[in-house]
Structure 1
Amino acid sequence: MNKQGILWVLRILVGGLFIFSGLIKVNDPVGTAIKLEEYFDVFSNDIAGFFYYFKPFALYIALVLVVSEVVLGIMLILGVKLRQTVWALALMILFFTFLTFYSAYFNKVTDCGCFGDAIKLTPWESFYKDIILLVMISFLFIFRAELPEETPRWAGMAAIASLVISTGIGIWAIQNLPFIDFRAYKVGVNIPVNMQPSATLEYTYVMKKGEETVYLDKYPSEEGYEFVEMVLRNPEALPKISDFAAWNQEGDQTEFLFQGNKVIILSSNMSKMSEANQGDLNALVKSMEGAPVDVVFMAAATQEEIDAFLNKNGWSIIGLQADATVVKTIMRANPGIMIMKDGVVLEKYHHNNTPEATDVLDFFL
C-alpha cells in the first residue's frame, strides 16, 4: 500500500473512532460534564486552584467537546479542511492523553468516560487507547501537507449539517434525558437483583509454601501455607450495582424503596436544583396524596436540608438522604423523577417532562 493509501486508512480509523466516541457522549452531555467536574476538582487541588472556576461551565465545555469529536471525525473522513482538521485533532488527542495518563498514573479519576457509560475502560486501557490514536494522528500530522486541499461542496455541507444535528441532539439530551440509557439504573432494571452477584463468585487463592508460590481453588485446610492474595476468576459475575443506598434519621431505608409502588423525586445537589418546573412537581405530589403509592424525595443533602425543603413546599412525603454520585448516576436531571415497582425501574423523567398523576398511576394498574 502506498503512502496515500495509508493516509486514507488512518483517516477512516481515526475519524470513525472520534465519531463513535462523540455520538455516544452527545447522547449524554451531562455525563461528560460530571466527569469534567471530577477532573476540575482534582486539578484544582493538585495543579492549580483556578481549575475550580471551570466547574460552573462544565456542561458547556462538555457539549463543545462531544460535538467537536463528531464533527471533526466527519470532516477527517470526508476531507473537509483536512490540514486544519488534523491540527484540531492533534490538540484534542494531546488533551485527552494528558487526562487519561493523569487518571491512570495518579489513580485520581478511575473512569475517564471516554465512551460514556456504554463501554467501560480502566484508566490504563484508556491511556493506551489514546496513545494508539496519538500515533495515528501524529502520522497524519507529519504528512498533512500531502493531504488533499480541495473540499467538495457536498462534503462541506455535510460537515455543517453534522454540526447542527449533533448540537441539537446534545441540547435535547440536556433538556430531557439521554436517548439511550447505558447506566445500571436504566428503565427495566431490577435494582435489588442487580445488587447481587449474577453467579457464585469464584476465587483463586495465591499462597506461599516455603519458597514456592501455589494457586489453589479453595483455601487450604492443612498447615504450612502462607496467604498472599485472592484473585477473582469471574469478575463478570460481580453485582452491577454496588453503591445504591438511602437513609434517614431512623436508619437505612433501602429495602423500603424496593417494596411496592414508588415515585422518587431525586436531587443530586439541592443548592443547584432547578426551580423551572417546581409548580408541576408540586401538582404531582399533591395529586398523589391518598394514592397507593409512596412518594419519596431523595437527595444528596443533610436531613435538615431535606426536611426544610419539604416543609417549604408543603410536601407531606418521605425525605431520604443518598450519595451524590449515586443520584447523578441514576438521574441526569436535577430534579428528576423515577417510577419504581418492587425495585424495578419503570420510567424516568426530566423535570421538564414532569408527568401527570394519572400517567404515573397507569404504571401501577
Structure 2
Amino acid sequence: MLKKIILTLFRFLVGGLFVFSGLIKVNDPVGTSIKLEEYFEVFSNDIASFFEVFKPFSLELSVFLIVLEVVLGIMLLLNFKRNLTVSLLLVMILFFTFLTFYSAYFNKVTDCGCFGDAIKLTPWQSFYKDVVLIVMIGVLFIFRKDLPNGTSKATSVVVAGSALACFVLSVLAIRNLPFIDFRAYKEGVNIPEAMQPSGALEYRYVMKKNGEEVVLDEYPSDESYEFVDMQLKNPDALPKIADFGVWNDEGDFTEEILSGNKLLILISSYDKMDADKLGNLDVIMDVEGVETVLVTATAADEIEQVMEAQDWNVPYYFGDATVLKTIIRSNPGVVLLQDGTVLKKYHINNAPSLEEVKNNYQ
C-alpha cells in the first residue's frame, strides 16, 4: 500500500513538473534554442569539436525536446506505455542533469533555462532539482512493473493531440513572438528605471579572525579582522537590467537611445537575419517625431551592406548580441521606445503599418 502511494505521488510530481516545464518552453522555443547554442559552444571548446555540428540545428532540437518533455509528462500522468515512458524520462533527466552539473561545476552557462525566463534558477539549484528528479524517476523505473499500463485508443489520441498542439504552438511562437513575455524588456518596462536598484543594496561581510571565518552584518572596526568576501543580503534589489548598452566608434550612446521617441530596428546576427523581409520596414522609417535607429551586433562592413542594399539612411549603433536576442526574439525585430519605455515590439513577420506606429506614440 505504501509503495503504491509513493509511486503514485512520484508519478504525479514528475509528470506534472515535466508538463509545466515544457509548456513554459513552448511559449519561447527560440529562448531554449539560444541556451542549446550556448551549451554546444561550450562543449565544442571544452569536450569535443563535433558539438559545433549541432549549433545550426539548435532551433529544431529545441522544438523536439520541448514537445518530447510535455508529451512524456502527459504519458506518465495517463499511465500510457509505462516502460517506454519511464525509460525515456530516465534518459532525458540524465541528459539534463549532465547539462546542469556542467553549468554549475564549471560555471559555464549561468542559467540553464529549465523554466525559460519565467522562473530563474541558479546552476546549482537546477542541478539539485534534477538530482531529486533522478531519484523519483529512478524509483519509477525500478518499480515500473507495479505501475498501471494503459494503451487505450482514447489515451493514444490525447497523447498524439498533445504532441501536435505543442508543435503548432511552438511554431507559432517562433514565427511571431512569445505569447507571454517574461523577460526584463517586456512591453511597459522603462529601461532606465530597470537599470537602477529597486532599493538600497545591503551586504554582509565574510571576515577571518584567528584563522576562522565569521559572517558579520556590519563591517567591523576591529582591525584584527581580515576581509575575505562580501555577500549581498537582498539580491532582489539588484537592477533588473544590467547589460543594456549602445555604442559606436565615437563613444557610448545609451543615454541618447533611451530619450525621446525611437523606433529601433534590432539585428542580432547578419548570417541568421531574415533579409528577405527587411523591405517590410521601409514604410515605417519616416514617422514624424520618431527617430529610426538601427542597433546591431554584426560587423560594420556587414551592416553597411544592409544599409546599401535597402537604401536606408539612418544612424546605426552596436549592441551585445545576447542583449538584442533577449530584447526581442526576432532577427530583425522592431521595438518602439518612448523615453526608454518599451511601447511595443514586433516580429519581422508582423511588421507594423505606418498608422500602427503613429498610434503608439499618441
TM-score scaled by length of structure 2: 0.96
The equivalences for 1:145-164 within 5 A come to: 145-164=145-164
Partner of 1:298: 295
CA apart distance, 1:150:
3.2
* Contact kept in structure 2, 1:75 and 1:159, CA below 8 Å: yes
The whole-number CA distance in structure 2 between the counterparts of 1:121 and 1:300 is: 27
The whole-number CA distance in structure 2 between the counterparts of 1:196 and 1:84 is: 50
Partner of 1:321: 318
The equivalences for 1:228-307 within 5 A come to: 228-285=228-285, 287-288=286-287, 291-307=288-304
Partner of 2:112: 112
CA apart distance, 1:218:
4.2
* Contact kept in structure 1, 2:41 and 2:51, CA below 8 Å: yes
CA apart distance, 1:224:
4.0
After superposition, give the CA deviation of every residue in 1:234-293 in whole Å (9 maximum; x if it has no partner): 1110011100000012210100111111110111101221123222122322x43xx100
Q: 1:239 to 1:153 in 2, by over 3 A?
A: same
* Contact kept in structure 1, 2:78 and 2:150, CA below 8 Å: no
Is 1:179 paired with 2:179? Answer: yes
Q: Which runs of 5+ in 2 are unaligned?
A: none
Partner of 1:358: 355
* Contact kept in structure 1, 2:267 and 2:295, CA below 8 Å: yes
The equivalences for 1:1-365 within 5 A come to: 1-209=1-209, 213=213, 215-220=215-220, 223-285=223-285, 287-288=286-287, 291-365=288-362
CA apart distance, 1:221:
5.2
How many correspondences in the alignment?
A: 362
The whole-number CA distance in structure 2 between the counterparts of 1:4 and 1:229 is: 49
* Contact kept in structure 2, 1:306 and 1:320, CA below 8 Å: no
Q: 1:308 to 1:275 in 2, by over 3 A?
A: closer
Which letter does structure 1 place at the counterpart of 2:140? L
Which letter does structure 2 place at the counterpart of 1:187? E
After superposition, give the CA deviation of every residue in 1:41-71 in whole Å (9 maximum; x if it has no partner): 1111111111101001000000000111111
Secondary structure of the 1:34 match is: helix
Q: 1:212 to 1:51 in 2, by over 3 A?
A: closer
CA apart distance, 1:340:
0.8
Which letter does structure 1 place at the counterpart of 2:294? F
* Contact kept in structure 1, 2:292 and 2:314, CA below 8 Å: yes
* Contact kept in structure 1, 2:278 and 2:310, CA below 8 Å: no
Which letter does structure 2 place at the counterpart of 1:248? N
The whole-number CA distance in structure 2 between the counterparts of 1:101 and 1:260 is: 45
Which stretch of structure 1 is more off in the superposition, 60-69 or 215-224?
A: 215-224
Secondary structure of the 2:262 match is: strand
After superposition, give the CA deviation of every residue in 1:200-252 in whole Å (9 maximum; x if it has no partner): 11112333455565554444456444322222111110011100000012210
The whole-number CA distance in structure 2 between the counterparts of 1:362 and 1:169 is: 29
CA apart distance, 1:312:
2.6
Which letter does structure 1 place at the counterpart of 2:44? S
The whole-number CA distance in structure 1 between the counterparts of 2:290 and 2:221 is: 53
CA apart distance, 1:301:
1.8
The whole-number CA distance in structure 2 between the counterparts of 1:207 and 1:14 is: 42
Which letter does structure 1 place at the counterpart of 2:317? L
TM-score scaled by length of structure 1: 0.95
Which letter does structure 2 place at the counterpart of 1:364? Y
* Contact kept in structure 2, 1:303 and 1:319, CA below 8 Å: no
Secondary structure of the 1:340 match is: strand
Q: 1:212 to 1:73 in 2, by over 3 A?
A: closer
The whole-number CA distance in structure 2 between the counterparts of 1:127 and 1:211 is: 32
* RMSD after superposition: 1.6
Which letter does structure 1 place at the counterpart of 2:340? G
Q: Give me the identity figure in percent.
A: 58
The whole-number CA distance in structure 1 between the counterparts of 2:239 and 2:81 is: 47
Q: 1:254 to 1:142 in 2, by over 3 A?
A: same
Which letter does structure 2 place at the counterpart of 1:185? Y
